[in-house]
Amino acid sequence: MMEGEAQRSHLLTAGVLLVVGIAAGAFGAHALEGVLDDRGMVSYETASRYVLVMGAAVMGASATGRVRGLVWVEVGVALFSISIFALLAGRFSGWTWVSWIGPVTPLGGLAMMVGWVLWTLQWRRPREQNGGKSEEKSDS
């Protein structure tokens, strides 16, 4: 994927994360109040907050033009937040089969951290310039 295409892809993903985070927050505040216990609400709010914060962070990081590691962040926030939402849905609905998702949450958190480390490390030195074009092509 060309660098400009990768940047657009991450900006689009960031926008989707922000919309999902806003919708999840509103749903939690209005539809889940009184449905989930205090512990469940705290977990739901944490998952919603991570979607919003990571959406904004990915948008800002993408705007720099440097995108290495952002796929890890995007996958990580999806694993982290979706696993929490699924576990809460399972607890509320009695779906015992979702209990296997529990270990996915910390893996999502780890993926986010790996992504931000990769993104940060690319700032160690200036980009190599080759005729005005960056040599950096990787998004891993």
Per domain, the residue ranges of the chain are 3-123
**Above 50 in pLDDT, residue 135?**
no
Which pLDDT belongs to residue 127? 67
pLDDT band at 128 (very low <50, low <70, confident <90, very high): low
**Above 90 in pLDDT, residue 114?**
yes
Sign of dihedral through CA atoms 8, 9, 14, 17?
positive
**Above 60 in pLDDT, residue 70?**
yes
State if pTM tops 0.95.
no
d(CA 136, CA 138): 6
Both tokens assigned to 109: 């958190």
pLDDT, tens only, 30-46: 888 878 888 988 999 99
